[in-house]
Amino acid sequence: MYFFTDTEQKYLINKLLPKARERGIEEELRGWNWHSSPVKPYYESKIPMYLVCSQYCPTHRDVYLKLVENVRERFNYRVSQGIGMHKLVEFLISSYQDGKEVEFEKWWEEKSKNISDPGWVEPMRRRAIKIWELVETQIKYQLIKRKSEQPYSNKRDILATAIPLLVGHRVSGELLGLSGLLTIDAYDYLRNIVFDLKVSDEEKDWYRLYPTGYAMVLESIYEVPIDIGVVVYLRFNRDDEPYVKKDMFFIDDDLRSWWIEERDKKLKIVAERLDPGLPKKCEETCIYYHYCRGEGT
């Protein structure tokens, strides 16, 4: 999931990294400049990363409902499946990193208890097992490849360089006006690359805001430059076979400025308790549809 194919590796080395070096980043847009404008937040309020980046609601009323009115969201199948796949990938990679033997059936027995709708269990299981096989195969391949390249390395070195990932990495985004502990899907600490997993059939340009925001948070904490982001799209065909595509990009000044603009706009909604109102049309899959367009609270 977070490992590059040979083609992606070539694109990274021959295209993206030279572009990042040539164009560079405005110093004032680095996360470590959290104490100065424009990275410094204007308001004392805090807001979660997913709401800064999300563009699902055209007026951003979801921010108001969640943080001002405390309305409870209703998770649908799509959202629950996304949460489950994230947990699976994080668990599997970190288990291998800890040198633990893990079995799908044991993991599933425990996790499936949390699925709120019994009708979702079997469809999710069919897909989860495919993702398990895919990620496990990728990990094993990386380990075997690294062992053959470095026959004299010890086990710890092999693991740290074959799977150089902090998965489900918890960090605080407080310096940038973000609330709670953030969970970064994966951070490649050897190459300074941030990954964000999206279980989605649709590709959206604003999904790039997530790795952008996480990169700026990591810069604010570790004070290392992070120039490359990756949105990993995971989708399934009718036979529940997974397909993975990566959107790799340079986290340039435009993306950073866009993220700051979104953060400031949404912090204002919370700090000034402004209800942005309803757009002309709402998607029925919105987790607040029941409240805005349906049966009320």
Q: Where on the chain is the footprint of ligand SF4 (CB under 6 A)?
A: 57, 61-62, 65, 278-279, 282, 286, 288-289, 292-293
Name the residue among 117, 105, 110 with its Cα closest to residue 79: 117
**How many whole angstroms separate alpha carbon 137 and alpha carbon 139?**
5
Give the integer Cα–Cα distance in Å for 262 and 270: 13
Question: What is the closest distance, in whole angstroms, from the C-beta atom of residue 179 to ligand SF4 in the complex?
Answer: 19
Residue whose CB is less far from ligand SF4, 176 or 282? 282
Output 69 or 109, the one with its CB closest to ligand SF4.
69
CB of 56 to ligand SF4, least distance (A): 6
Q: Quote the least distance from Cβ 204 to ligand SF4, whole Å.
A: 15
The H-or-E segment that residue 77 falls in is helix 77-97
CB of 54 to ligand SF4, least distance (A): 10
The tokens describing 152, both together, are 């004299």
Kindly tell me which of 96 and 291 has the beta carbon lying closer to ligand SF4. 291
Q: Residue 63: exposed, middle, or buried by beta-carbon count in 10 A (0-12, 13-18, 19+)? A: buried
CA 12 – CA 116 distance, rounded (Å) = 41
Nearer to ligand SF4, 144 or 278 (CB): 278
24: tokens are 């560079």
CB of 72 to ligand SF4, least distance (A): 13
Which CB, 176 or 269, lies closer to ligand SF4? 269
Q: Closest approach of Cβ 289 to ligand SF4, in Å?
A: 5
CA torsion sign for 69, 75, 79, 82 is: positive
Residue placing its CB nearer to ligand SF4 in the complex, 113 or 281: 281
Q: What is the largest CA-CA distance in the chain?
A: 65
Spatial neighbors of 21 by CB under 8 A, at least 6 apart, are: none
